[in-house]
Amino acid sequence: MTSRAFAAAMVALFAAVALLFSAMPETMAQQVTPTASSVQEDELLRALQTGENVSGRVSIPDRQAGELIKPDNKGWADLSQGTLQTFAVGILVVALIGLALFYFIRGRIALEGGFSGRSILRFGWFERLAHWMLASTFIVLALTGLNLVIGRAVILPIVGENAFGTLSSWGKIAHNYLAWPFMISLAIVFVLWIVHNIPGRIDLEWIKQGGGFMKKGVHPPAKKFNAGQKIVFWCVVLGGAAMSYTGVMLLFPHLAGTGADWQFYQVVHAVVAGLLSAVILGHIYIGTLGMEGAFDAMGKGEVDENWAEQHHSLWAREVKSAAVSPAKSDEAIAPAE
Ligand code: HEM
Protein backbone atom coordinates (compact mmCIF):
# COMPACT_ATOMS: atom_id res chain seq x y z
CA MET A 1 0.00 0.00 0.00
CA THR A 2 1.32 3.43 -0.90
CA SER A 3 1.57 6.05 1.83
CA ARG A 4 -1.19 8.08 0.17
CA ALA A 5 -3.55 5.09 0.17
CA PHE A 6 -2.68 4.35 3.83
CA ALA A 7 -3.48 7.96 4.87
CA ALA A 8 -6.81 7.79 3.02
CA ALA A 9 -7.68 4.51 4.77
CA MET A 10 -6.91 6.03 8.22
CA VAL A 11 -9.06 9.09 7.53
CA ALA A 12 -11.91 6.82 6.47
CA LEU A 13 -11.52 4.75 9.69
CA PHE A 14 -11.61 7.85 11.96
CA ALA A 15 -14.64 9.13 10.11
CA ALA A 16 -16.44 5.80 10.61
CA VAL A 17 -15.65 5.74 14.38
CA ALA A 18 -16.79 9.36 14.81
CA LEU A 19 -20.03 8.54 12.98
CA LEU A 20 -20.60 5.51 15.20
CA PHE A 21 -20.18 7.54 18.45
CA SER A 22 -22.44 10.32 17.28
CA ALA A 23 -25.13 7.76 16.45
CA MET A 24 -24.83 5.95 19.85
CA PRO A 25 -27.89 6.42 22.16
CA GLU A 26 -27.41 8.58 25.26
CA THR A 27 -27.78 5.66 27.70
CA MET A 28 -24.99 3.69 26.01
CA ALA A 29 -22.72 6.70 26.14
CA GLN A 30 -23.38 6.88 29.91
CA GLN A 31 -22.45 3.23 30.29
CA VAL A 32 -19.14 3.91 28.63
CA THR A 33 -18.37 6.71 31.14
CA PRO A 34 -20.01 5.44 34.35
CA THR A 35 -18.71 8.17 36.65
CA ALA A 36 -19.62 11.07 34.37
CA SER A 37 -22.92 11.87 36.16
CA SER A 38 -22.10 10.62 39.69
CA VAL A 39 -21.56 12.98 42.60
CA GLN A 40 -17.93 13.97 42.99
CA GLU A 41 -16.22 14.17 46.36
CA ASP A 42 -15.52 17.90 46.15
CA GLU A 43 -19.20 18.46 45.34
CA LEU A 44 -20.20 16.58 48.52
CA LEU A 45 -17.76 18.56 50.64
CA ARG A 46 -18.99 21.84 49.18
CA ALA A 47 -22.62 20.82 49.82
CA LEU A 48 -21.83 20.06 53.45
CA GLN A 49 -20.45 23.58 53.87
CA THR A 50 -23.05 25.48 51.88
CA GLY A 51 -26.08 23.43 52.94
CA GLU A 52 -27.14 22.37 49.42
CA ASN A 53 -29.19 19.27 48.62
CA VAL A 54 -27.26 16.48 46.88
CA SER A 55 -29.17 13.57 45.42
CA GLY A 56 -28.58 10.80 42.92
CA ARG A 57 -30.49 7.96 41.29
CA VAL A 58 -31.20 4.54 42.86
CA SER A 59 -32.89 1.49 41.36
CA ILE A 60 -34.26 0.11 44.68
CA PRO A 61 -37.92 0.80 45.64
CA ASP A 62 -36.96 3.26 48.41
CA ARG A 63 -36.30 6.35 46.22
CA GLN A 64 -35.36 8.40 49.30
CA ALA A 65 -32.14 6.39 49.55
CA GLY A 66 -30.95 8.51 46.57
CA GLU A 67 -30.76 11.60 48.78
CA LEU A 68 -27.14 11.88 49.81
CA ILE A 69 -27.09 15.16 51.65
CA LYS A 70 -30.15 17.01 52.96
CA PRO A 71 -29.35 20.11 54.98
CA ASP A 72 -32.72 19.82 56.86
CA ASN A 73 -31.46 16.54 58.34
CA LYS A 74 -28.77 18.36 60.25
CA GLY A 75 -31.38 19.80 62.63
CA TRP A 76 -32.78 16.32 63.23
CA ALA A 77 -29.31 14.85 63.76
CA ASP A 78 -28.54 17.54 66.35
CA LEU A 79 -31.89 16.90 68.04
CA SER A 80 -31.49 13.12 68.20
CA GLN A 81 -27.84 13.16 69.25
CA GLY A 82 -28.09 16.15 71.58
CA THR A 83 -31.46 17.09 73.07
CA LEU A 84 -32.97 13.60 73.02
CA GLN A 85 -29.85 12.07 74.51
CA THR A 86 -29.98 14.57 77.40
CA PHE A 87 -33.72 13.98 77.83
CA ALA A 88 -33.38 10.16 77.95
CA VAL A 89 -30.54 10.21 80.46
CA GLY A 90 -32.09 13.06 82.46
CA ILE A 91 -35.49 11.43 82.95
CA LEU A 92 -33.96 8.10 84.04
CA VAL A 93 -31.60 9.80 86.48
CA VAL A 94 -34.48 11.89 87.93
CA ALA A 95 -36.61 8.72 88.32
CA LEU A 96 -33.78 6.82 90.05
CA ILE A 97 -33.01 9.72 92.41
CA GLY A 98 -36.75 10.10 93.19
CA LEU A 99 -37.08 6.40 94.02
CA ALA A 100 -33.92 6.42 96.16
CA LEU A 101 -35.23 9.45 98.10
CA PHE A 102 -38.64 7.79 98.54
CA TYR A 103 -36.94 4.65 99.86
CA PHE A 104 -34.78 6.56 102.34
CA ILE A 105 -37.60 8.83 103.55
CA ARG A 106 -40.56 6.44 103.61
CA GLY A 107 -38.76 3.10 103.77
CA ARG A 108 -40.27 -0.19 102.63
CA ILE A 109 -44.07 -0.31 102.86
CA ALA A 110 -44.43 -3.01 105.45
CA LEU A 111 -47.14 -5.62 105.78
CA GLU A 112 -48.85 -4.40 108.95
CA GLY A 113 -49.90 -7.29 111.15
CA GLY A 114 -47.39 -9.58 109.42
CA PHE A 115 -48.13 -12.59 107.22
CA SER A 116 -51.30 -14.47 108.13
CA GLY A 117 -50.15 -17.75 106.60
CA ARG A 118 -53.28 -17.90 104.42
CA SER A 119 -52.95 -17.00 100.74
CA ILE A 120 -55.30 -15.84 98.01
CA LEU A 121 -54.96 -16.56 94.30
CA ARG A 122 -54.18 -13.22 92.55
CA PHE A 123 -52.96 -14.10 89.05
CA GLY A 124 -53.34 -17.40 87.15
CA TRP A 125 -50.44 -18.95 85.19
CA PHE A 126 -51.52 -17.41 81.87
CA GLU A 127 -51.65 -13.90 83.34
CA ARG A 128 -48.18 -14.36 84.85
CA LEU A 129 -46.81 -15.78 81.59
CA ALA A 130 -48.15 -12.75 79.68
CA HIS A 131 -46.78 -10.34 82.32
CA TRP A 132 -43.28 -11.86 82.31
CA MET A 133 -43.17 -12.01 78.52
CA LEU A 134 -44.11 -8.32 78.42
CA ALA A 135 -41.67 -7.44 81.21
CA SER A 136 -38.65 -9.36 79.87
CA THR A 137 -39.04 -8.12 76.29
CA PHE A 138 -39.58 -4.53 77.49
CA ILE A 139 -36.44 -4.61 79.63
CA VAL A 140 -34.27 -5.93 76.75
CA LEU A 141 -35.83 -3.41 74.33
CA ALA A 142 -35.22 -0.56 76.79
CA LEU A 143 -31.58 -1.51 77.41
CA THR A 144 -30.73 -2.09 73.74
CA GLY A 145 -32.53 1.13 72.80
CA LEU A 146 -30.64 3.05 75.47
CA ASN A 147 -27.41 1.63 74.07
CA LEU A 148 -28.25 3.26 70.73
CA VAL A 149 -28.66 6.61 72.45
CA ILE A 150 -25.81 6.69 74.98
CA GLY A 151 -23.78 3.49 74.33
CA ARG A 152 -21.11 5.25 72.26
CA ALA A 153 -20.52 7.82 74.99
CA VAL A 154 -20.87 5.56 78.05
CA ILE A 155 -20.19 1.89 77.15
CA LEU A 156 -17.62 2.19 74.33
CA PRO A 157 -14.93 3.84 76.50
CA ILE A 158 -15.38 1.07 79.12
CA VAL A 159 -15.48 -2.09 76.95
CA GLY A 160 -13.50 -0.94 73.87
CA GLU A 161 -14.39 -0.84 70.16
CA ASN A 162 -14.50 -4.58 69.40
CA ALA A 163 -16.71 -5.57 72.31
CA PHE A 164 -18.93 -2.52 71.76
CA GLY A 165 -19.32 -3.42 68.07
CA THR A 166 -20.35 -7.01 68.88
CA LEU A 167 -22.64 -5.89 71.70
CA SER A 168 -24.35 -3.27 69.55
CA SER A 169 -24.89 -5.52 66.54
CA TRP A 170 -26.46 -8.24 68.75
CA GLY A 171 -28.40 -5.51 70.53
CA LYS A 172 -29.81 -4.27 67.23
CA ILE A 173 -30.92 -7.80 66.24
CA ALA A 174 -32.49 -8.35 69.67
CA HIS A 175 -34.26 -4.96 69.46
CA ASN A 176 -35.70 -5.63 66.00
CA TYR A 177 -36.92 -9.17 66.76
CA LEU A 178 -38.07 -8.87 70.40
CA ALA A 179 -40.37 -6.02 69.37
CA TRP A 180 -42.79 -8.69 68.03
CA PRO A 181 -43.25 -10.79 71.24
CA PHE A 182 -43.48 -7.44 73.10
CA MET A 183 -46.41 -6.37 70.90
CA ILE A 184 -48.12 -9.75 71.24
CA SER A 185 -47.86 -9.78 75.05
CA LEU A 186 -48.99 -6.14 75.20
CA ALA A 187 -52.16 -7.08 73.32
CA ILE A 188 -52.76 -10.08 75.63
CA VAL A 189 -52.24 -8.04 78.82
CA PHE A 190 -54.60 -5.36 77.48
CA VAL A 191 -57.38 -7.90 76.84
CA LEU A 192 -56.83 -9.72 80.17
CA TRP A 193 -56.79 -6.68 82.47
CA ILE A 194 -58.78 -3.91 80.82
CA VAL A 195 -61.87 -4.92 82.77
CA HIS A 196 -60.05 -4.18 86.08
CA ASN A 197 -58.63 -0.86 84.87
CA ILE A 198 -61.68 1.22 84.07
CA PRO A 199 -61.33 4.40 86.19
CA GLY A 200 -64.01 4.84 88.89
CA ARG A 201 -65.00 7.20 91.71
CA ILE A 202 -63.07 5.11 94.23
CA ASP A 203 -59.83 5.95 92.41
CA LEU A 204 -60.24 9.66 93.27
CA GLU A 205 -60.29 8.81 96.97
CA TRP A 206 -57.18 6.63 96.56
CA ILE A 207 -55.36 9.48 94.80
CA LYS A 208 -56.52 12.03 97.44
CA GLN A 209 -54.95 9.86 100.13
CA GLY A 210 -51.77 9.37 98.07
CA GLY A 211 -52.50 5.65 98.06
CA GLY A 212 -51.61 5.66 101.75
CA PHE A 213 -47.98 5.47 100.66
CA MET A 214 -46.82 8.48 102.65
CA LYS A 215 -48.37 7.65 106.03
CA LYS A 216 -48.17 4.41 107.93
CA GLY A 217 -51.56 2.92 108.83
CA VAL A 218 -53.47 4.66 106.00
CA HIS A 219 -54.99 2.21 103.50
CA PRO A 220 -57.54 3.64 101.06
CA PRO A 221 -59.91 0.96 99.73
CA ALA A 222 -59.21 -0.52 96.31
CA LYS A 223 -60.56 -3.24 94.03
CA LYS A 224 -58.24 -5.63 92.13
CA PHE A 225 -56.12 -2.72 90.84
CA ASN A 226 -55.78 0.59 92.70
CA ALA A 227 -55.57 4.00 90.97
CA GLY A 228 -51.75 3.89 90.88
CA GLN A 229 -51.83 0.54 89.11
CA LYS A 230 -54.48 1.78 86.69
CA ILE A 231 -52.15 4.66 85.79
CA VAL A 232 -49.32 2.16 85.20
CA PHE A 233 -51.64 -0.03 83.11
CA TRP A 234 -52.73 2.84 80.83
CA CYS A 235 -49.18 4.17 80.52
CA VAL A 236 -48.05 0.69 79.46
CA VAL A 237 -50.96 0.18 77.04
CA LEU A 238 -50.93 3.63 75.40
CA GLY A 239 -47.17 4.13 75.61
CA GLY A 240 -46.58 0.57 74.37
CA ALA A 241 -48.99 1.12 71.46
CA ALA A 242 -47.19 4.37 70.51
CA MET A 243 -43.81 2.61 70.75
CA SER A 244 -45.12 -0.26 68.60
CA TYR A 245 -46.56 1.96 65.87
CA THR A 246 -43.55 4.26 65.61
CA GLY A 247 -41.19 1.25 65.87
CA VAL A 248 -42.83 -0.45 62.88
CA MET A 249 -42.48 2.81 60.90
CA LEU A 250 -38.79 2.96 61.79
CA LEU A 251 -38.27 -0.69 60.78
CA PHE A 252 -40.02 -0.19 57.43
CA PRO A 253 -39.18 3.37 56.29
CA HIS A 254 -41.14 3.07 53.04
CA LEU A 255 -44.33 2.82 55.17
CA ALA A 256 -43.43 5.98 57.09
CA GLY A 257 -43.90 8.46 54.21
CA THR A 258 -41.31 11.17 53.67
CA GLY A 259 -37.93 11.42 55.38
CA ALA A 260 -39.36 14.13 57.65
CA ASP A 261 -42.18 11.77 58.73
CA TRP A 262 -39.61 9.07 59.56
CA GLN A 263 -37.66 11.56 61.66
CA PHE A 264 -40.87 12.55 63.48
CA TYR A 265 -41.54 8.88 64.35
CA GLN A 266 -37.97 8.53 65.59
CA VAL A 267 -38.36 11.49 67.96
CA VAL A 268 -41.74 10.22 69.28
CA HIS A 269 -40.24 6.71 69.74
CA ALA A 270 -37.34 8.10 71.80
CA VAL A 271 -39.45 10.47 73.94
CA VAL A 272 -42.13 7.86 74.77
CA ALA A 273 -39.40 5.28 75.51
CA GLY A 274 -37.82 7.65 78.06
CA LEU A 275 -41.15 8.46 79.77
CA LEU A 276 -42.36 4.85 79.84
CA SER A 277 -39.03 3.58 81.18
CA ALA A 278 -39.25 6.06 84.06
CA VAL A 279 -42.79 4.82 84.90
CA ILE A 280 -41.60 1.20 84.72
CA LEU A 281 -38.68 1.92 87.07
CA GLY A 282 -41.27 3.05 89.64
CA HIS A 283 -43.36 -0.06 88.95
CA ILE A 284 -40.39 -2.41 89.38
CA TYR A 285 -39.44 -0.65 92.62
CA ILE A 286 -42.93 -1.13 94.14
CA GLY A 287 -43.11 -4.73 92.88
CA THR A 288 -39.80 -5.69 94.54
CA LEU A 289 -38.02 -3.56 97.14
CA GLY A 290 -40.73 -0.99 97.81
CA MET A 291 -43.62 -3.09 99.16
CA GLU A 292 -43.44 -6.14 101.36
CA GLY A 293 -45.35 -9.12 99.95
CA ALA A 294 -46.03 -7.56 96.51
CA PHE A 295 -43.67 -9.71 94.41
CA ASP A 296 -45.52 -12.92 95.39
CA ALA A 297 -48.47 -11.80 93.25
CA MET A 298 -46.42 -12.21 90.06
CA GLY A 299 -43.93 -14.74 91.47
CA LYS A 300 -46.18 -17.43 92.94
CA GLY A 301 -49.48 -16.00 91.72
CA GLU A 302 -50.78 -15.90 95.31
CA VAL A 303 -50.67 -13.16 97.96
CA ASP A 304 -51.06 -13.25 101.70
CA GLU A 305 -54.57 -12.56 102.96
CA ASN A 306 -53.30 -9.66 105.13
CA TRP A 307 -51.58 -8.11 102.09
CA ALA A 308 -54.82 -8.36 100.11
CA GLU A 309 -56.79 -6.75 102.99
CA GLN A 310 -54.24 -3.95 103.38
CA HIS A 311 -53.82 -2.96 99.72
CA HIS A 312 -56.94 -4.24 97.93
CA SER A 313 -59.61 -4.47 100.63
CA LEU A 314 -62.64 -4.49 98.31
CA TRP A 315 -61.11 -7.16 96.06
CA ALA A 316 -60.14 -9.30 99.09
CA ARG A 317 -63.72 -9.15 100.40
CA GLU A 318 -65.06 -10.07 96.97
CA VAL A 319 -62.76 -13.10 96.70
CA LYS A 320 -63.55 -14.26 100.23
CA SER A 321 -67.29 -14.03 99.73
CA ALA A 322 -66.94 -15.93 96.44
CA ALA A 323 -64.95 -18.61 98.28
CA VAL A 324 -67.82 -19.32 100.66
CA SER A 325 -70.15 -19.71 97.70
CA PRO A 326 -69.34 -23.18 96.18
CA ALA A 327 -70.38 -21.99 92.70
CA LYS A 328 -67.32 -19.72 92.48
CA SER A 329 -64.66 -22.06 93.85
CA ASP A 330 -62.02 -21.08 91.21
CA GLU A 331 -60.97 -18.02 93.21
CA ALA A 332 -61.01 -19.83 96.54
CA ILE A 333 -58.73 -18.94 99.42
CA ALA A 334 -55.95 -21.52 99.40
CA PRO A 335 -53.94 -22.51 102.47
CA ALA A 336 -50.33 -21.31 102.38
CA GLU A 337 -47.70 -23.90 101.42
C1 HEM B 1 -38.48 -6.96 87.13
C2 HEM B 1 -39.50 -6.35 86.58
C3 HEM B 1 -40.92 -6.40 87.08
C4 HEM B 1 -41.44 -6.81 88.27
C5 HEM B 1 -40.70 -7.36 89.48
C6 HEM B 1 -42.87 -6.65 88.19
C7 HEM B 1 -43.77 -6.99 89.19
C8 HEM B 1 -45.14 -6.88 89.11
C9 HEM B 1 -46.05 -7.26 90.13
C10 HEM B 1 -45.68 -7.84 91.49
C11 HEM B 1 -47.30 -6.99 89.69
C12 HEM B 1 -48.62 -7.28 90.42
C13 HEM B 1 -49.00 -6.18 91.35
C14 HEM B 1 -50.24 -6.57 92.13
O15 HEM B 1 -50.43 -7.70 92.47
O16 HEM B 1 -51.05 -5.71 92.43
C17 HEM B 1 -47.18 -6.43 88.36
C18 HEM B 1 -48.22 -5.98 87.60
C19 HEM B 1 -48.09 -5.38 86.37
N20 HEM B 1 -46.94 -5.26 85.65
FE21 HEM B 1 -45.07 -5.72 86.28
N22 HEM B 1 -43.19 -6.12 86.96
C23 HEM B 1 -42.03 -5.96 86.26
C24 HEM B 1 -41.90 -5.43 84.99
C25 HEM B 1 -42.94 -4.98 84.23
C26 HEM B 1 -42.80 -4.36 82.94
C27 HEM B 1 -41.45 -4.12 82.25
C28 HEM B 1 -44.04 -4.05 82.52
C29 HEM B 1 -44.50 -3.38 81.25
C30 HEM B 1 -43.75 -2.94 80.30
C31 HEM B 1 -44.98 -4.45 83.54
C32 HEM B 1 -46.33 -4.27 83.48
C33 HEM B 1 -47.22 -4.60 84.48
C34 HEM B 1 -48.63 -4.26 84.46
C35 HEM B 1 -49.37 -3.50 83.35
C36 HEM B 1 -49.17 -4.74 85.66
C37 HEM B 1 -50.63 -4.58 86.13
C38 HEM B 1 -50.83 -3.21 86.71
C39 HEM B 1 -50.00 -2.97 87.95
O40 HEM B 1 -49.98 -3.82 88.84
O41 HEM B 1 -49.38 -1.92 88.01
N42 HEM B 1 -44.27 -5.02 84.56
N43 HEM B 1 -45.86 -6.38 88.03
C-alpha 37: how far from chain center? 42
DSSP-assigned letter for residue 39: P
CA distances from 195 to 59, 189, 225 (A): 51, 11, 10
Q: How far is the CA of 311 from the centre of ligand 1 (A)?
A: 15
The protein residue with its alpha carbon nearest to ligand 1, atom 16, reads 225
Report the nearest atom of ligand 1 relative to the CA of 224: 16
Q: Average pLDDT, whole number, for the chain?
A: 86
Ligand 1 neighbourhood includes 143 CB (under 6 angstroms): no
Given phi > 0 = left and psi -120 to 50 = alpha, else beta, which region is 304? beta
Tell me the residue type at 192.
L
pLDDT of residue 330: 47
CB 75 within 8 A of CB 264: no
Query: In CATH, which superfamily holds the domain spanning 72-335?
Result: Transmembrane di-heme cytochromes, Chain C (1.20.950.20)
pLDDT score at 15: 67
* pLDDT tier for residue 50 given thresholds of 50, 70 and 90: confident
pLDDT on residue 248: 97
Q: Please name the amino acid found at residue 15.
A: A
Which residue has better confidence, 87 or 231?
A: 231
Q: Does residue 7 surpass a pLDDT of 60?
A: yes
Rounded distance between C-alpha atoms, residue 174 and residue 138, angstroms: 11
Read off the pLDDT of residues 227-275 as tens digits, 9 standing for 90 and up: 999 999 999 999 999 999 999 999 998 899 888 898 999 999 999 999 9
Query: Using 50, 70 and 90 to split pLDDT, how confident is the model at 188?
Result: very high
Q: Count of alpha carbons within 13 Å of 149, Cβ hemisphere only? A: 25
Query: What is the position in ligand 1's atom list of the atom closest to the CA of 312?
Result: 16
Q: What phi, psi does 69 have (nearest 5°)?
A: -135, 125
Residue 284 Cα to ligand 1 midpoint, Å, equals 7
Q: How close are the terminal C-alpha atoms of the chain, in Å?
A: 115
Q: Given a cut of 50, is residue 332 above it in pLDDT? A: no
If one residue of 131, 196, 203, 232 were mutated to test the ligand 1 pocket, choosing by the most ligand atoms within 8 A of its CB, it would be 131
User: What is the rounded CA–CA span in Å between residue 78 and residue 85?
Assistant: 10
237 lines ligand 1 (CB under 6 A): no
pLDDT band at 95 (very low <50, low <70, confident <90, very high): very high
Phi/psi at 37 (nearest 5 deg)? Answer: -105, 10
Domain residue extents for the chain: 72-335
Q: Tell me if 265 CB under 6 Å of ligand 1.
A: no
Confirm or reject: Cβ of 284 under 6 Å from ligand 1. Answer: yes
The response to whether residue 224 sits with its C-beta less than 6 Å from ligand 1 reads no
The answer to whether residue 27 scores a pLDDT higher than 50 is: no
Q: Nearest C-alpha to atom 15 of ligand 1 is from which residue? A: 297
Give the residue among 189, 212, 193, 237 at the shortest CA–CA distance from 291: 212
Query: 21: burial class by Cβ within 10 Å (0-12, 13-18, 19+)?
Result: exposed
pLDDT at 189: 98
299 alpha carbon – ligand 1 mean position (Å): 11
Confidence of residue 198 (pLDDT cuts 50, 70, 90): very high
pLDDT mean over 61-78: 72
pLDDT of residue 290: 95
In the chain, what percentage of residues exceed pLDDT 70?
83
Q: How far is the CA of 184 from the centre of ligand 1 (A)?
A: 16
Give the other-Cβ count within 10 Å of 90's Cβ: 12
Q: How many residues does the chain have?
A: 337
Nearest to 69 by CA among 91, 50, 90, 89: 50
Q: What is the phi/psi pair of residue 333, to 5°?
A: -75, 125
C-beta separation of 301 from 125 below 8 A: yes
Identify the CA nearest to 318 among candidates 118, 120, 112, 113.
120
Residue 297 in contact with ligand 1 by CB distance below 6 A: yes
Distance 315 CA to ligand 1 centre (A): 18
Long-range CB pairs of 322-329 (<8 Å, 24+ gap) are none
Q: What sign does the CA torsion over 194, 195, 200, 205 have?
A: negative
Closest residue (by CA) to atom 35 of ligand 1?
A: 233
CB 240, CB 232: distance < 8 Å: no
Rounded to whole angstroms, the Cα distance separating 231 from 225 reads 10
Half-sphere exposure (Cβ direction) of 234: Cα atoms closer than 13 Å: 11
Alpha helices, DSSP H only, in 124-226?
Answer: 125-154, 156-159, 161-193, 201-208
Yes or no: say if 243 and 276 are a contact pair by the CB < 8 Å rule. Answer: yes
**Does the pLDDT at position 337 exceed 50?**
no
Express each pLDDT in 129-186 by its tens digit.
Answer: 999 999 999 999 999 999 998 898 889 999 999 999 999 999 999 999 999 999 999 9
CA of 294 to the centre of ligand 1 (A): 10
Cα–ligand 1 centroid distance for 287 (angstroms): 7
Between the CA of 288 and the centroid of ligand 1 the distance, in Å, is: 10
Q: Around Cβ 119, how many Cβ atoms within 10 Å?
A: 21
CB of 185 sitting under 6 A from ligand 1: no
Q: Which atom of ligand 1 is nearest to the CA of 237?
A: 35
Sort residue 24 into left (φ over 0), alpha (ψ -120 to 50) or beta: beta
